[in-house]
Amino acid sequence: MTAIAQAFSRYLPPKVVTNDDLSKLMETSDEWIQKRTGIKERRFVEAPTTTSDLAVEAAKGTLEQLEGKPVDAIIAATLSPDFDFPGIGVLVQTKLGLPEIPAFDIRNQCSGFLYSLELAKALVLQKQYERILVVGAEVHSTGIDLTSRGRDIAVLFGDGAGTCVVSAEEHASSRIPALRLLQSEMHSDGAHASKLWCQHIGSAHFPTRVTQELLDEAKCFPTMEGKKVFEHAVKRMVEVSHSVLAKEGIPASKVRLVVPHQANLRINTMVGDALGVPGDRLFNTIERYGNTTAATIPIGLSHALMEVPLHPEDYILSCAFGSGFTWGATLMQVV
């Protein structure tokens, strides 16, 4: 028995924020952002929409494709929960009106969706659960420094959500193609935690988690050593992609489509070049959505599965790298 991920769905908030819009808030330009990152625009929520609201909208599209088949667990990945606690899993459960099923919260940033698939696959193959709703959702727009001080990070991120359902089945019932979950590999190296993090709010601060000093120093916003993160991202995504392909015993030339995490178009081009995958087999969404962290890969897969002509048995590879550091790759096959 294999595990499949099916009924992919996405939700992007309607408000489009262009690079020119950001140029009105900080010292940046459309030219700089496009040249260095590939991003043209991203979506931002408007009050009172929260991360769990985005997740719920995406999940409705997933559940609708299941035609009444129930889900019996939720795994939700985000770095931008509605509240410090509880996580968004329980909020998704209640807002969707689901019964009292377990809701797991995953905190692995840009790798969060692949980590969630990893966990969901193991749980359904163990027959612990039958059908798991897997969620990646983020609201970055209210957590970034939209002034010149934060421009290196602020221009990168956008809001959105993507969802699917993982089950141990041979055949899918969903409207759009499903993906068989083949080889996968996840990694972490916390020695690099401070290269991309948000220090505030946390139990590392005394006497209280929220201090005026940290707020004054703008440590409530993420900080990043961009160049170091960039180098590690390329190296690790290539390494882990090679590893999962080797486990399956196929060369990269057999992969129909790579749907990578979207942090920077230059990162993805370099990963594609190193794997020997040309641009027309690299599926990017960064131009229109920026980096939506845990939501990025399910959003990308929902687009790719609907828009790219695919055939049963086609291989699809997703790889991700992000804060932690965490990284991973999952090899899938169209059902």
User: What residues line the site for ligand ACO (CB under 6 A)?
Assistant: 28, 32, 36-37, 109-110, 151-152, 155, 196, 226-227, 229-230, 233, 263-264, 267, 291, 293, 322-323
Rounded to whole angstroms, the Cα distance separating 112 from 330 reads: 12
Output the smallest distance, CB 63 to ligand ACO, in A: 28
- Nearer to ligand ACO by Cβ, of 31 and 313: the residue is 31
| Active-site residue identified among 19, 291, 303, 319 | 291
Output the smallest distance, CB 106 to ligand ACO, in A: 13
Rounded to whole angstroms, the Cα distance separating 140 from 25 reads: 16
19 is catalytic: no
Output the smallest distance, CB 317 to ligand ACO, in A: 18
- Nearer to ligand ACO by Cβ, of 262 and 302: the residue is 262
| Active-site residue identified among 110, 164, 198, 319 | 110
284 is catalytic: no
260 close to 107: Cβ distance less than 8 angstroms: no
The Cα-based distances of 41 to 17, 158, 251, 289 in angstroms read 6, 9, 34, 6
- Nearer to ligand ACO by Cβ, of 121 and 151: the residue is 151
Token pair listed for 181: 């979950």
| Active-site residue identified among 140, 200, 232, 261 | 261
Nearest CA among 330, 329, 322, 325 for reference residue 109: 322
Output the smallest distance, CB 227 to ligand ACO, in A: 5
- Nearer to ligand ACO by Cβ, of 102 and 150: the residue is 150
- Given the DSSP bridges, would you call strands 73-77 and 131-138 parallel, antiparallel or unpaired? parallel
110 is catalytic: yes
Nearest CA among 151, 157, 74 for reference residue 116: 74
- Neighbouring residues of 178: CB distance < 8 A, sequence distance ≥ 6: 4, 5, 6, 7, 172, 334, 335
Catalytic site positions: 110, 261, 291
